[in-house]
Amino acid sequence: SDDRSLVAALRAPAPSYSFEFFPPKDDDGEAVLWQTIADLEPLDPTFVSVTYGAGGTSQERTVRITARIAEQTAMRPVGHLTLVAQTRGEIESVLKQYAAAGVDNVLALRGDPKGGPRAPWEPHPDGMTYAVDLVELAKELGGFEIGVAAFPEGHPDAASLDHDAEVLAAKARAGADYAITQLFFRSSDYFGLVERVRALGSDIPIVPGIMPILNFAQVARMAELSGAAMPAEVLEQIEPIADDKVAVRAKGIELATQLCRDLLAGGAPGLHFITLNRSRATREIFEQLRADGLV
Ligand code: FAD
């Protein structure tokens, strides 16, 4: 990591690379996470981020873990924050806790409905409706660099891909400094999003989110929930070996590494790895990209 702002790092010629974690459910899970963080820190990521759950305990863990990363490591933490089941005052208080802990980077998200990503969204009666409202609040409080979500295949509720791109451009106009995408499998979906957003006059850096297929059922479920389709060209390669866990994992690493190469070759500003709190797959992909001289 370096002393530049995160957005300066994302706008620099060298690609960024970053790692995403989630708040563990219990202390055993947290021990695994700290080991993973220790394993990944030597790679000197541009930033690491921690997702934000729907329950009070997991939300407290997110704030505590990002604060400890800021305090005890050389890495730059990004704290995710959502609007789910919280009043405007509660959301503002989390932003202030982040700031007080030295976490001055937030990923401003709406969050998914309590009934899951496909349930209808109902804002808290004293809360906020769209992620753009949170961007505005963080901007108003000041002192934050603000990231937002982007969707190469469109958000599942988006009226159209064009409207989806307009939502991202509006978040940028409200003060978002950069975006990170939902997982996806085809570089063409990512480049399509970038093109739509640029056509709207926005130059916001859009960092692709990368999640290798290590466990077929798990990725298929996450993809379905997030509205990312598992494309035929991926299914064709995984399905014939679906019963062989070792082969699936190797193929998943190979496909993700190739996706990363294509994204960087096409001008993506960096790579954001969804680690699921494990370091091995990310390190394997990273080592191959480093051998290629790409990171
Ligand atoms: P928004 O930008 O508010 O968009 C939500 C929907 O509303 C979209 O369909 C959009 O098209 C529509 N919309 C927006 N503005 C308008 C408008 N003005 N008029 C009409 N329609 C509008 N979830 C978590 O719970 N915790 C996390 O930590 C988390 N991390 C994530 C990280 C990344 C990188 C990504 C891509 C997603 C993450 N999510 C997380 C999931 C995210 O919260 C969901 O995908 C959520 O459904 C959408 O969030 P958003 O911030 O894009 O919302």
Closest CA to 206 of 197, 219, 217, 215: 197
pLDDT digits (tens, 9 = 90+) for 75-125: 999 999 999 999 999 999 999 999 999 999 999 999 998 888 788 999 999
The residues annotated as belonging to the active site are 20
Residue 106 φ/ψ, nearest 5 degrees: -125, 145
What predicted TM-score, i.e. pTM, was given to this entire model?
0.97
Closest CA to 59 of 6, 19, 109: 109
From the alpha carbon of 108, which atom of ligand 1 is closest? Answer: 51
Q: Are 165 and 189 in contact (CB under 8 A)?
A: no
From the alpha carbon of 81, which atom of ligand 1 is closest? Answer: 28
What ipTM was assigned to the predicted interfaces of this complex? 0.99
pLDDT digits (tens, 9 = 90+) for 222-251: 788 777 778 888 889 998 998 999 999 999
Mean pLDDT of 273-288: 96
∠ CA 227-129-76 to the nearest 5 degrees?
Answer: 70
In angstroms, the CA 17 to CA 283 distance is 12
Q: With a 6 A CB cut-off, is 252 part of the ligand 1 pocket? A: no
pLDDT the model gives residue 55: 86
pLDDT band at 209 (very low <50, low <70, confident <90, very high): very high
∠ CA 271-9-281 to the nearest 5 degrees?
Answer: 25
Which residue among 107, 110, 132 is best mutated to probe the pocket of ligand 1, counting the most ligand atoms within 8 A of its Cβ? 110
